[in-house]
Every structure is written in C-alpha cells, then in structure tokens.
Amino acid sequence: MIVYLSTLLLTLLVTIVLIPVTIKAAEVIEKYDMPGKRKVHAVPVPRTGGIAMAVAVFSSMLLWAQESSMLSAYVIGAGIIVVFGLVDDFVDLSYRYKFAGQFLAALAVVLLGDVQIRNLGALSPGVGPLTPWIGIPLTIIVIVGVTNAINLADGLDGLAGGICILSFCCTGYIAYLGGDTVIALLSVALVGSVFGFLKYNTHPASVFMGDTGSQFLGFSLVVATIALTQRGTGLSAVLPVIIFGFPVLDTAVVMLERIGAGKSPFRADKNHFHHKLIRLGLSHAEAVFIIYLLQALLVVSAFVFRYYSDWALLIGYGIFVDVVIIGFFAAEITRWKMKRFTFVDKHIKGKLTKIKKKGVWIVFSFQVVEYGIPTLLFATTFIPVSIPRYFSYIAGALLFFTIVCMFCRKNWFKWVLMADIYITVPLIVFFSTDPVRGLVMQPMMWGYNLTFVVLTFFVIMTLRLTRRRSGFKVTPMDFLIVFIAVIAPFISGIYGEHRRLTYVAAKSVMLYFSYEVLIGELRGQYRRLTIFTACSLAVIIIRGFL
C-alpha cells in the first residue's frame, strides 16, 4: 500500500509546487481567462492549472506504474489531449479542432490500449459481445462525449475538480478491491493532482485548470472507468453511467435546450445546472456544494450497487435524472427563489457573532488547536513498532531544510512547513495503524483515536469563531475532505480487511485539514509550530536508525 501513498504524495506535491510557476508564466506572457458575459469571475485569472496536474500525473506514472499497454496508450492519448488543450487555452480553437484532438486521443487508447466497450449489459440483451465494428466507434463516441461533459462542467471555482475527485475516489477504490493495480494507481495519482490544484482553485480562484485540465480529467475518468468495467470482473457494464452521470446529464440537457431554441448545440451560454442554481438565489459556494452532494450520492450508489443488475442501476439513475430535471423545471416555471431563514441569521449566527465579539472562546479553542494538533503528530511518531530506514532519510532531508529555513530563509517558513506536513503525515499515520502490532496497548489506542475526534471539534469551533478575515476559510473543498473522512470508516465497517487503508485516509485527511486551519490562523507566526514539527521529524530519524 505504500506505493499508493507515494503516488498520492508525489502528484499532490508536484501540483502544489508547479502551479505557482505556471501562474507566473501566465503573467509573463499575459495569458488570462478574461471576464465576460458568460463568465462568473470579475477579474482576469490564469488558466494554467491543467499543465501542473498533467505533469504531476505523467511523472508519477513513469515512476511507479507497472508495464501496461493500456497505461502506455493512456499516456499517449492524454498527451494528445494536453497538447490540444494548451493550444486552445492560448488561441481559442474552434470546436472542430477540439473534436479532432479528442478523436485522436480516443483512437489511441482504443487501438493501442485495447480500451473498448464490448458489453452493454442490459442495454443489449441476448446480443452478446459487441463486434469491433460497433464497439470501437461507440467507445470513441463515449470518450469524446464524457471528455466534453467534464470540460463544460468547469464553470465555477472548484466544480469540475470536485466532481472528478469524487469519481476518481470511487473508481480507484473499486479497482483496488478488485486487484486492478494500474487503474487504482492512476486514480490515486489523479486524486492527488486535483487536490493540489483545488488548493488554488477554491473560490475566489487564483488559477483555473483551463481546457487543458478539464479535458485531461474528463478523458482520464472515462478511460479509467471503461477499462475497469469491461474486463469481465463482474462489475455492472452501466456502472460508468452512474460515476460520471451528473456532468453527462448536464451536458445533454444544455445541448437539447440549445437545439430547442434553434441555436447551435456548441454555442456557449449560461444554462448549465450550476448557472441555474445561482439564478435560484444560491451563492457560488452553495451551488458548488449542492452539486458535490449530488455527485457524492451518485458515486456512493455506484460503489454500493456495483454488482447489482444493470436494470437496477439504470432504473435508479433514471429516477435521479427525473428528480433533477423536474426540480429545475418546476423552479423555473414557478420562479422559485432560495429563501434566507431569518431564524438562522438572527439566532444562530447572531449568537455566534456575540461569542466572536467576546473573544474568550476563540482564544481557548485556538490554543487547544495550536498545541493539540502538533502534539498529536508528535505522539503518533512513537506508536509504530518500527520505522523504515528510508522514512528516516526522508525525515532527515526535511529536517535539514527546516533548520536552514529557520536561520536563513524565514520567508520560506510556510512552504517548508507545508512540505513537512504533506509528506510526513500520511507516512507516519500509515506506520502507526499496523493492525497486528503497536507500541501502545489497546485502551491507550482508544484514547489516541478519541483525541482525533476531540481535536476535530475544536478545529471546527476555531473556524466558526475566528475573527481573522484573511485566515483559513471554509470552502466547498472542505466538504470533499469531510466526505472522505466520514465515508472511509463506513466502508471499513463493511470491508474489515481493508480497514487499515480507510483509517489511514481518515486520519491523514483530518490532520491535513487541521494543519491547513492552524497555518491559516497563525498568520505568519510559524516559529513555534515549526519547532514542534522539527521535533517530530527528529524522533522519526532516531527511531529509524534504532
């Protein structure tokens, strides 16, 4: 499992490091996504985030992935997508050229990687496997269609990225359970790259993924799901429809509305579901959050019912489609608008405002977080029975750069500290969740696990009570973090043999989230936190050589 953690860390860190470089490059060549009538942003924003994501995923595949014709074909196809996407981001290609690039990419994975739809399940009863004359054109159409669906879903900050993270988590975990290492590694790499990108893309975004990123994610998602479900694994053949069903539904409805209005189906407008949610009175973040909830519902359903009959999945998806379409249609006909509840504003928010003004609770809550979170990480370094030597070498390198930063480059404090956290946390949590051995007794482990819950409460309280305007802010991305942390233990309850993986995910996500909050609230005063972190690294170094 260490290879999955390494892949996640690599793509996450490479993306985080490269995005500021791509932003600077966009500023030098003066290439921005400019505001307009169809846009929701009010200032020019670089759209170079997709470059960083693609480089991160390609580099991880070259380092970790096994020999696979499917993977080689994917890299070729995704490379074609990235090249055409880059050109489109800089010179605005015609949709004909976009389709040409997507067609070539799809052709590459179909012919070179043998990624092909051979079975339609309940959609073709009694027909049996599809002939290549039908399967190949159908696969190309599906790949091009889903690639464009994700591209068109990229209309609000964090929207397309969040949809794809949920989809890749589902696809990757199903592949992991089925022993498909290639698809699982690819999905993990994509999750890491998108998480790194969302660090800069939550509202208000400092960078967009551009057509490069959105088409790259859409292409990757559809290729991974087709490859996963068309290999005779017992998975439903219509499972991909559920996994990427929301963006496909959005695209289909928008195009039908354009055709019904006598317009070209490829003419851009503001009639996507996220635009409609905003017109109903929801804020930017609320619209993204609602779509996250809908996508989360779909991917959880896809996972739970992945071995059910094709008709059961199709009926369930049909009900979902009817509810969404009828809901939007009824809202438009009745001109319904989102109402703000005065009870919440006056009583709940009002009381929180009074508590904020007093400042007593925020001081207490913040101090618990400031000392509790680093102490928890420090305590975690003592739990593993042993620490591998290579982890000590990694910790040694991180400690060296941390000490240099403390004395020579204080303006690098934040970035070095973030590197320490992002690399150390998942590895030490992984080694501390050994299901067989441990340095602490079971009652002490219960107390240790309870500490995670208690500190999470104080982290949330700190967020709600803070009066700092430029500190850490709650965004729809936090829903993704909470979703993974909550769903992981739920799944582990069903699949006990994979409990270690889910515990690692839940605890790592909690620590990542807590450190993000803590660093945002410290407002540049990182010295004490850095010393705590350096002590944790020192323990890892010492224990690795014992």
Residue 154: the pLDDT is 78
Cβ(285)–Cβ(476) below 8 Å: yes
Mean pLDDT (10-residue bins), the chain, 546 residues: 78 87 82 62 75 92 76 93 90 84 95 88 68 90 92 80 90 88 92 86 77 93 92 82 90 86 76 85 83 90 87 91 91 79 52 54 82 92 87 91 79 80 86 61 73 84 64 55 57 52 74 83 82 92 88
Alpha helices in 466-546 (DSSP H): 476-494, 499-522, 527-544
In this structure, what token pair is assigned to residue 308? 């059910």
Task: Please state the domain extents for the chain.
Answer: 2-243, 342-544
Residue 481: the pLDDT is 63
Distances (CA, A) of 110 to 116, 143, 185, 197, 238: 6, 10, 20, 29, 19
Cβ(482)–Cβ(289) below 8 Å: no
Q: Give me the DSSP letters along 6-27.
A: HHHHHHHHHHHHHHHHHHHHHH
Provide the 3-class DSSP secondary structure of residue 21: helix
Residue 106: the pLDDT is 95
Residue 454: the pLDDT is 87
Residue 76: the pLDDT is 94
Residue 74: the pLDDT is 93
Write the pLDDT tens digit of every residue in 209-219.
Answer: 888 999 999 99
Cβ(517)–Cβ(369) below 8 Å: yes
In this structure, what token pair is assigned to residue 259? 């055709």
Helices and strands (DSSP H and E) totals, the chain: 22, 0
Secondary structure, 3-state, 159-226 = HHHHHHHHHHHHHHHHHHHCCCHHHHHHHHHHHHHHHHHHHHHCCCCCCCCHHHHHHHHHHHHHHHHH
Integer Cα distance of 355 and 465 in angstroms: 7
Q: Could you identify the residue written with the tokens 């791509």?
A: 22
**Alpha-carbon Rg of the chain, whole angstroms?**
24
Residue 514: the pLDDT is 85
Residues with Cβ within 8 Å of 439's Cβ and at least 6 positions away in sequence, in order, are: 382, 383, 384, 385
Residue 492: the pLDDT is 45
pTM of the entire predicted model: 0.81
In this structure, what token pair is assigned to residue 15? 């993306």
Provide the 3-class DSSP secondary structure of residue 44: coil
Residue 535: the pLDDT is 93
